[in-house]
Structures are given as structure tokens and as C-alpha cells.
Amino acid sequence: MRRLPILGLLLALAGALLGLVAASPAAVAQDPAVTTTTAATSAAGSREDGDHGRISVLKVDGLIDPVLADFIQRSIREGEEAGVVAVVLQLNSDGAALDDGRFRDLAEAMASASVPVAVWIGPSGSSALGGAAVLAGVADRVGISPNSRLGKTGEIDPAVERLLTPAFRDARARLENGTVKPAQAKELGIAPKDAPIIGEFVVDMPGVESKVVTVDGIKRREPLTTPVFSSIPIQDQLFHTVASPPAAYLLFLIGLSLIVFEMYTAGVGIAGLVGAGCFLLSAYGLSVLSARPLGIGLLALAIFGFTVDVQTGVPRFWSGLGAVALVVGSLTLYDGYGLSWIALAVGIAGVPLFMIAGMPAMVRTRFSTPTIGREWMIGEEGEAVTAVDPEGVVRIRGALWRARTNRATPLALHDGLRVTEVDGLLLEVEPLEGGARDHREGRKR
């Protein structure tokens, strides 16, 4: 019902276009080139002259999660109420992220609909795997575009298996762990007709009226029944996106990293708010995807490990532990869903880079930057918290700084030192005793 204004506009435009193609309703009715794939339904028979009906085409892209399941069921109900000729799912999905009960409800809604529900796997190169393939097996009609594939259903709930079409049920053994392409699906009777594009698939649907036209000497059929394309609403798109494996994984890492970042930086809390938002969205996505608790725990341990070494500015034991936990947690996070190499590269390389290279600078910025400059630090004394040879980390007035030795005079752990120069966020230091002499000035620095 919320789409009625848009739907009305589309129908008005479609009517105007059809008026240009057909001189009058009577002319269309008498034109032998106008055909209907099967006898019109009772609902179609009650249409006014010139009204060729509508077919609802739903874009179903990505894992079939609760958001997409609600969209499909809602669209089927709306199609039944509006008397559409059929509902077609334009499907490209690697599986379903639904519990057994929710998946059964969706399959039964498709199988028991009062209007035909069909599935076209496309565009070219698309796939329908796992639960998505099972839903295709429930549909009244299936079409597969070139280079697309169908299968890897795994074990099927007996309550859903009884809803499968006979051809799909006969091919269960082949589809359980393997996939088929268009030619093979045609041989098995799963997709009996070629459907390289959705237009050719729609025009063959029962109840769809079409007209034969000639373009460049080639005859082809064009639908007179109006296809109405729709996808999930914008407000639902966010939750569908974060329920994808790479998005939930990266949002989790980004959220925790920004929360840690907020702990060490001064400001109004923007990083913390963004981090909290990313973390909450990732929590939703990970719950929908049923992520392994072990994988989540390892990723949290990784962030903790890197955080321990942030203040030293030098990778140590905890950073090594964090790196190992990050890799293992990334690879074991999901059961049944894979992460692309791009997502893995961003997560596994980005987090250490941010924690080891970026965060120490933020720590020094917060705890060590005075309001009147850093010249006051020249002459200040402190101690080395790592060996400084020629660079390392020192403590001045309780704050940690990255430093290098003056005249390459090495400093051992806990050696006393004096600041001789400030270069941005890098200090130049010398030992309290035995520092090298500056021969250009003839004095000890």
C-alpha cells in the first residue's frame, strides 16, 4: 500500500506508452501478433479493455536474511491483493541466513501463493546456492541466465522438501553438493526454457500478454503486460547490508578500534559515537549470520592485545598475540559463509597498521602536548623505557614519547636521559652522563 502512489505513476506512464504502440484497445484485440502464453486468469479476464495486467519483479540480491524474507513475503501478499499476473524473483544469492522455522515460512509462502511465483537467476554470472537454491526449487518456474549456476543445497528440511517441484526433487542427489548451469538445468527439467535475459523469461510466464514486433528484420516478442520492478526499501537496505559477512566483520573491527581510539584522544567523542554505532550494527549482522563465539572472542582479544602495547609505541608480546588472534579469528568467524580476500586483507592488515602506527601518535598528542608548545621540554630529564639505539621510547614527566639518540649515543633500558631537541613528535635525547660532544660548537651538548 505504501507503494501505491509510485505504482500509479508507473501504470500511467506504461498506459501512455502502450497507447502509442496500439492505436486503440480494439485494434490490439484484433491484431494477430498479440498473444498470451496461456489462457488468462479469472482476474485478468475481468480487466478493462487495454489493461494487460502487471507482473511484479523483485530484486533479491545477497544472502536471504530476515529483511529480504520479509520483503519477499510482503510483496507476494501485495501481489495477491493487487491481482498481478505473477511474482518473479530476480535472484543472485549465495545462501540464506534464516533459522529453520523462518525459512519454512518463506518457502510455504512461495508455494501456497495464489499467484505464480517464479525465479530467474540472473543477470549473467549470478548464482543461487544453499537456501537460495532451495527456494528456486519451490518456485513454479525457474530460468537461469548464461554463466549462472544453481545448487549446493545441502540437506533439506523434510517439511521444505515436500514443497519442491518434481524435477527439482528428482535432481536432489546432484544438487546437494554440486551445481548445474543453464544447459544442465534444462536437461534435468529444472529450467526447461532458455532465459538469457529477464525479458525473455517474463514474456513466457503464464498469463503474460505479448506482441510480436520486427526489429531489423528480426521478429521478437515484447510484453504488453507491464513489469513492475522493486527492491527492498532504503530504510531496510542498511540492515540487509550489515548482515553480509564482510560488512559485519569489518564493522566489528572498526567499531572496537574506534572505541579504543576514543579512549586515547581528546575531543567531543565523535570517534566513540561512530565506533559504538559500528559495533551495534556489527552485533546485529553477526547475530543474523550466527557467527561463531570463538571467532568473535578472538577478534576482541586481538584488539585488546594491540591496545596493551599502544602506549609503548613498540610492538611486543601482546601485539604478536593480537596479530595471531586476528588472523585465526578472521578465518574462523563464520560457519558456512566465506570472506573475500579483499575483506580479509583490509581487516588483517588494517588493524595492526592502525594500532601500531596510528595510535601511539594519538597517545602522545593527548598526554604530552602542552598548550604553549614543546620548547619547555628541552633540558627535561627522564628515562628510557626501551633501548634507544638509535630510536626507541622514553618517558618524560610520565608521558611516553618516541625518541632518537643525540650523536648516536645508545641508551639502555632505564638509563637516565636529557632532552636536547624537539622535532615534531620525535625527541632527540642524550644520556645524563657521557654524552657525545658537539665538535662544531666545541662543547658538550
Q: What is the pLDDT of residue 86?
A: 92
As a whole number, mean pLDDT of residues 307-323 equals 78
- CB of 307 closer than 8 Å to CB of 316: no
Instruction: Name the β-bridge partners of 377.
Output: none
Distances (CA, A) of 314 to 82, 215, 253, 254, 355: 66, 71, 21, 22, 10
Confidence of residue 354 (pLDDT cuts 50, 70, 90): confident
Q: Is the pLDDT of residue 378 over 90?
A: no
Question: What is the spatial distance between Cα 360 and Cα 348, in angstroms, rounded to a whole number?
Answer: 19
Q: Is the pLDDT of residue 226 over 90?
A: no
As a whole number, mean pLDDT of residues 369-397 equals 78
Q: What is the pLDDT of residue 1?
A: 37
Q: What is the pLDDT of residue 362?
A: 65
What is the CA 53 to chain-centroid distance, rounded? 36
Give residue-wise pLDDT tens across range 143-185: 999 999 999 999 999 999 999 999 999 999 999 999 999 999 9
Block residue for cell numbers 495477491: 80
As a whole number, mean pLDDT of residues 47-60 equals 78
Percent of the chain with pLDDT over 90: 45
Query: Which amino acid would we find at residue 213?
Result: V
Average confidence score pLDDT of the chain: 80
Q: What is the pLDDT of residue 72?
A: 95
Q: Is the pLDDT of residue 32 over 80?
A: no
Confidence of residue 299 (pLDDT cuts 50, 70, 90): very high
Confidence of residue 199 (pLDDT cuts 50, 70, 90): confident
DSSP tag of 148: -
Q: What is the pLDDT of residue 7?
A: 33
Question: What is the spatial distance between Cα 405 and Cα 414, in angstroms, rounded to a whole number?
Answer: 14
Block residue for cell numbers 602542552: 370
As a whole number, mean pLDDT of residues 107-116 equals 94
- CB of 388 closer than 8 Å to CB of 402: no
Q: Is the pLDDT of residue 60 over 90?
A: yes
Pick the more confident residue, 126 or 354: 126
As a whole number, mean pLDDT of residues 289-297 equals 92
- Residue 344's contacts (CB-CB under 8 Å, 6 or more residues apart) are 330, 331
3-class SS of residue 384: strand
Share in percent of the chain as helix, strand, coil (round to 5): 45, 20, 35
Give residue-wise pLDDT tens across range 237-291: 989 999 999 999 999 999 998 888 887 765 556 778 888 899 999 999 999 998 9
Confidence of residue 379 (pLDDT cuts 50, 70, 90): confident
Question: What is the spatial distance between Cα 355 and Cα 360, in angstroms, rounded to a whole number?
Answer: 8
Closest CA to 47 of 230, 228, 224: 224
Strands 127-129, 87-92: parallel, antiparallel or unpaired by DSSP? unpaired
Q: What is the pLDDT of residue 183?
A: 93
- Does residue 32 have a cis peptide bond before it, meaning omega lies within 30 degrees of 0? no
Q: What is the pLDDT of residue 68?
A: 94
As a whole number, mean pLDDT of residues 126-141 equals 94
φ and ψ at residue 260, rounded to 5 degrees: -65, -40
Q: What is the pLDDT of residue 211?
A: 81
Q: What is the pLDDT of residue 4?
A: 35
